[in-house]
Structure 1
């Protein structure tokens, strides 16, 4: 019997990589599709053709030059989805500034860390959104952010002043700066939750993100006729790379249904704008399918899209294909550090492939599955750690060479920390995680970051955080805590109150379990596997129970 092939796959492709900057690519698209629709913002009714989009991008870029933004300077963006987010994305790319994405759910503690760690000089922010008063939080942290020279707020006079300042620079200044840029220059920093208690800034180049966005769209067979509905956040690769860059590299139109996800607004946008493409994590599609007015919307224009962020239940995939008409919907797998996509299903893959796997290797990318101990590639069908290599691997973590070296080995393989199996046809199934990352509703959460924060609670002696199953979000957070002697009982509500306003909402534990000791191995290591197993029993989740539970 022949030995099984090694779990290695290389993404051969007839379409070459793009060897240009983000700004250069946009200008090439504009030259071909100047009069075609480029951007629709549903909340305000504003619309841009490609010529109009490029004009406004250049105006913002000129404003950045007038503000003294140099190549390599960091410009932050802290806002839910809006047209200005996209304008700033391309304007910073044209002047060679590094766009620093700040999660709209962050609170003051996280904001201050990101601004200081990346050295943001100019921050563009919303004034507020939902319960977040961005202006107040910026005022709170600004004295502790010495590099921050200027704050500009979308929708008020400061944004208009930034743009108007561009009139002071020569007409060809943006072109001149663009000509000085290389595709390999860093252009974007995206923060991922870190195991050291603070997020790490994955630093990405023009080459990284332009090509990844382009090939994600290529595998969905996009053309300039496509209209792309993006309810996913721009601060994440899903929105700004797979969405925005996928669209502009193909001359397609971006439709922003709302500042943040709303099922009804998304369905209405598809209906009114005749969108052909829809993105989302499984929880978004579930919400759309369960919208009480679902049957009133005409979704017949939909053809394809991407579902990513967490595994897709088979019944949900069936309904997305049958009820939403997305016959060519694809599944993507990746991580911020790989720009993000490494594997993707194809538009003609079977239903089974789309729910049981995360597809096969992307064009111009390599993937392999290795034994975590020896580092050797395992035979197909054997579980191991998934690694990926190619143009998409980040430049590194911003100013953290030691953390970079832990993630990217000497041969430039990115170690994902995910356990995977590759089948004989090259399709990859994710079976677990070596790291203890929790995926809640598409958000990647590293428990260590939350544990470090919980240690600041005056009654908490020690804390461990694990993910537990949840029907709606895939996983929810459960904190196991040891209390200091004489401390008052700690309920889930009391802990949530402590976290509120200081941690992003999705990082706040839903459940609390007070213990005297944690399960440990004989060598003193915390047994999180056992904690997760016991959590299911404690919370009655195996019986379908889900509620705000505190136990002791």
Structure 2
């Protein structure tokens, strides 16, 4: 095995990359939003780069304990979407560690919680993101690795090879049999933090076997192939972005084009340029920085809010009738468009079909189970307001209270460090209790809503109302608070806060509340509506009925 590639894990993700997709483009850093040229990376470059980072992770471990494996130590990592993210994730797995992705949008308080709870042995960061990590690294005494420093050091490894840089070396590597590192599918692979009914997020532990099962459940039904190219605009600390839109295409040898963040105009431009693949005269906006030679996109995945914003750009973006027709034709050329992470409002479903001719494929899943239900690939079998049928390997049933129960190899292993919490969320016969109430029309499932009103689904996020209440009650002027989800056509739900002020304090304004939350809660957890009350209504048992309180906002 060439020293630049190193030993390969027995996991099929890596074996496929080496033996089946060696020369394919794996990752494209779409840099249009930051005014730089796009950069493409093949699977062999990904293998070489992840080997370099894995070596750095193992170096200190070897010196201390003379072992060749991280032995499931957690490794937290934070990176802008793109090649650096993927090589970090793959490096952690190659080194035998457990990947803990950190959210770009979270303030220090939430990163501190995740790091304190997961107890990583090291943090990986890009130089751009390092200001978020330097102080926490010192405070929590966790070593910090800066990827850019490793990249600069790696350039010296080409000395004497006759090539100008590491990419030139990797591109000359000849494919030959790899030395394999056996990794048990039952080993822990990843911890993704998700809010539950408690007041702080829980870490969901997935094994390598769980992840592979989640991927295999989608490859056939969604017809992934090496010829696919997905435009990735999703957050990379949720299953939607990590598994569905990243690991699935990489497992099959497809190309993932990753944008720095979502922008409706830029996404529409990118889809059009890929469709036409001609000169700049075909751009919607002649000032677009996206190359007109961009290859066509075949797959797109998003949350309902993103589709809403794309429609808004189409309707109110100042496009001529000819430009609108071009946008419609371009989106119509994609083979698959998926909506998830929140319920898809029927008006968005219908409007998207009107413009593109496509019925969005809606599916159902969560961090604990991956994807469990999906509408058919056949558009004639997709219906608004439904989430389809059980995917391969998924055992689904409904309990006597109407709650969806899921069992199968894709279901997560445990909540990190919370054995009692894990046990109470499974039935005696091994079904995970999703907390979602469902109904069936024949064999097709519909999601009716959360079993608990303390989980708010807003855009791509499932948010704990209790966590927000916990933070708001720390405000010196707030005596009581009730946080609830207010129905929203665009976001599914938005967060509302009913607040009772302490005596002899002036009422908070919304701007004051938003400012106070800015360094304590992620932006998507900050309430968007505020109502000041003299008291919060309670029932005879002194409990708050949040379902009835929603109408207090609807009266405004």
Q: Same fold (TM over 0.5)?
A: yes
- Is the partner of 2:206 in helix, strand or coil? strand
Q: 1:445/1:408 Cα in 2 relative to 1: closer, same or farther (>3 Å)?
A: same
Task: Provide the residue aligned with 1:240 in structure 2.
Answer: 242
1:56-95 mapped onto 2 (5 Å cutoff): 56-68=49-61, 70-95=70-95
Aligned match for 2:397, one of 329, 345, 368: 368
Let me know the Cα RMSD of the aligned residues. 2.5
Structure-2 change in CA distance of 1:182 and 1:188 (3 Å) = same
Contact 1:62 1:165 in 2 (8 A): no
CA distance in 2, matches of 1:163, 1:108: 33
Partner SS for 2:40: strand
Q: What is the alpha-carbon distance in structure 2 between the residues aligned to residue 243 and residue 413 of structure 1?
A: 26
1:342 aligned to 2:342?
A: no
Question: 1:157 aligns to what?
Answer: 149
* 2:384 match: secondary structure: helix
Contact 1:331 1:344 in 2 (8 A): yes
Secondary structure in structure 2 of the residue aligned to 1:431:
strand
When residues 92 and 66 of structure 1 are mapped into structure 2, their CA distance, relative to the original with a 3 A threshold, is same
Say if 1:493 and 1:413 are closer, same or farther in 2 by CA, change over 3 A: same
Note if 1:355 corresponds to 2:384.
Answer: yes
Structure 1 residue 349: deviation in Å? 4.5
Deviations 1:129-158 (A, max 9, x none): xxxxx5444344334413x12242x5x435
Q: Secondary structure at the match of 1:501?
A: coil
The Cα shift of 1:500 comes to: 0.9
Partners of 1:411 and 1:80 lie apart in 2 by 41
For 1:83-482, list aligned pairs within 5 A.
83-128=83-128, 134-146=129-141, 148-152=142-146, 154=147, 156-157=148-149, 160-161=152-153, 179-256=181-258, 258-270=259-271, 271=274, 272-291=294-313, 292=317, 293=319, 295=324, 296-297=326-327, 298-299=330-331, 301-321=333-353, 323-324=355-356, 326=358, 329-338=360-369, 340-350=370-380, 353-372=382-401, 384-425=402-443, 427-436=444-453, 437-482=455-500
Q: CA deviation at 1:65?
A: 2.1
- Residue 35 of structure 1, CA deviation: 2.1
Q: TM-score, normalised by structure 2?
A: 0.82
CA distance in structure 2 between the partners assigned to 1:198 and 1:46 by the alignment: 38
Q: Structure 1: which 5+ runs fail to align? A: 1-19, 129-133, 168-174, 373-383, 540-552
TM-superposed deviation, 1:521: 1.9
Q: Is the 8 A contact 1:77 1:124 kept in 2?
A: yes
* Number of residue equivalences: 488
The TM-score with structure 1 as length reference comes to 0.83
Give the SS at the match of 1:497.
Answer: helix
> Are the structure 2 counterparts of residues 458 and 325 from structure 1 closer, same or farther at C-alpha, using a change threshold of 3 Å?
same
Q: What does the per-residue CA deviation read over 1:422-443, in whole Å, with 9 as the maximum and x for residues that have no partner?
A: 2322x11111111121111121
C-alpha offsets along residues 16-69 of structure 1, whole Å, 9 cap, x if unaligned?
A: xxxx97843322243122222222111141112222322222222223222437
Counterpart contact for 1:89–1:99, Cα < 8 Å: yes
How far apart, in 1, do the equivalents of 2:115 and 2:296 lie?
A: 39
- The match for 1:544 is none
Contact 2:358 2:379 in 1 (8 A): no
The aligned counterpart of 2:290 is none
Q: CA deviation at 1:259?
A: 1.2
Distance 1:454 1:243, change over 3 A: same
Secondary structure at 2:435's aligned position in 1? strand
Q: Is the 8 A contact 1:303 1:326 kept in 2?
A: no
1 CA distance for matches of 2:347 and 2:250? 33
